Structures are given as C-alpha cells and as structure tokens.
C-alpha cells in the first residue's frame, strides 16, 4: 500500500451499539488509522451529549490502537480535509441504507474528489440494530444489554433509572 489509508467513520452514535463496535473493529483491521467522528448534530434531540458519546466510544475502543475518537460539526468533507483523511467509512445494514449512503457518497466525492467512501456491510447478527431501536427498547423498560457494550448499558441504565416497568 503506497499511501497510508486514513478513514473517518462518522455518526451520531447515540448510543454506540454492538453493531458500531463490530464495524469499528473490522475497519481497524483494514486501515492504517480510523477516526471515529461523533457528529455534533444540533438538529437531533440527542440522549447523550457529544462529550458523553465520545467518552463511551473511547472506553469501548481502548483495545484498538489505531482508532481515534473525535467529534466534528459542519460538512464531513471539510472535516476530512482538515484531518487529511482519504476515506469515509459507512456501514450498510440493508438496501435503504445503501441507497441513502450512495447518494451521500456521490455528493461527498463531488465536493472533495480526494475522499472515497468505503461501504462495509453489517455483520449478520447486527444487521437489524440501530441506536434508535436501542433507545426505544430502553425507554419502554426493556433489556437492551444484548445490543450495546456493557459500559454503554451502564450509562443507559443511569439515564433511565426512573423508567417505569
């Protein structure tokens, strides 16, 4: 490989799931440096702050030496330019993910030709999983422990100690 492959895996990660962690671990084996970038999205009503999401990601990826946790706002391609990243990593769970992500990849490439988008399919055991579903399970009093890493589950339980069962 003549060039170093620096990839950004962007997302809201609210909360980080086992699917996110699986994708991060698999991607870390493929790239020289992986930046997991928490989006500071003011349009969404987040359960966890950007700092809390970054802390959880740092904790659950501490065993991966080439993974860095960061956060950003604004256009992803501008962030990629600032970080000298030559790839954007996107996880694909289904056909609708592929359609949306392909549109974004084309737009990103038009805005910054030096940045390619890499699609990595979700593992079969995580192909149904989303942060939104985890939040729904926990807010309805269900057990989400099979869907998120243990440190994330602790934080979810702390946030929802008043949820009635």
Which residues have C-beta within 8 Å of that of residue 33, sequence separation ≥ 6? Answer: 4, 5, 6, 7, 66, 68
Phi-psi region of 136 (alpha: psi -120 to 50; beta: other; left: phi over 0): alpha
Point out the catalytic residue in the list 93, 109, 154, 159.
93
Active site residue 126: no
Active site residue 131: yes
Point out the catalytic residue in the list 4, 44, 82, 132.
44
* Residue 126 DSSP class: G
Say if CB 131 and CB 14 are below 8 A apart.
Answer: yes
Point out the catalytic residue in the list 20, 90, 135, 155.
20
Copy the structure tokens of residue 95. Answer: 């056909």
Active site residue 20: yes
Which residues have C-beta within 8 Å of that of residue 76, sequence separation ≥ 6? Answer: 8, 10, 37, 88, 108
Distance CA 67, CA 137 (A): 29
Point out the catalytic residue in the list 12, 53, 131, 155.
131
CA angle, 110 then 113 then 114, to 5°: 155
Copy the structure tokens of residue 161. Answer: 């100690």
Residues involved in catalysis: 20, 44, 93, 131
């Amino acid at each position: 490989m003549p060039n170093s492959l620096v990839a950004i895996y962007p997302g809201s990660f609210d909360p980080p799931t086992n699917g996110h962690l699986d994708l991060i671990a698999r991607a870390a084996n493929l790239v020289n440096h992986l930046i997991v970038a928490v989006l500071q999205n003011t349009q969404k009503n987040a359960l966890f702050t950007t700092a809390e999401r970054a802390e959880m990601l740092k904790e659950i990826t501490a065993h991966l030496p080439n993974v860095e946790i960061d956060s950003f706002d604004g256009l992803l391609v501008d962030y990629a330019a600032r970080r000298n990243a030559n790839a954007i990593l996107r996880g694909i769970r289904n056909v609708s993910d592929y359609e949306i992500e392909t549109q974004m990849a084309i737009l990103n490439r038009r805005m910054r030709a030096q940045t390619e988008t890499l699609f990595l399919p979700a593992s079969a055991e995580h192909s149904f999983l989303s942060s939104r579903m985890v939040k729904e399970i926990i807010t309805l009093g269900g057990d989400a422990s099979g869907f998120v890493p243990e440190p994330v589950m602790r934080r979810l339980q702390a946030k929802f100690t008043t949820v009635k069962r």
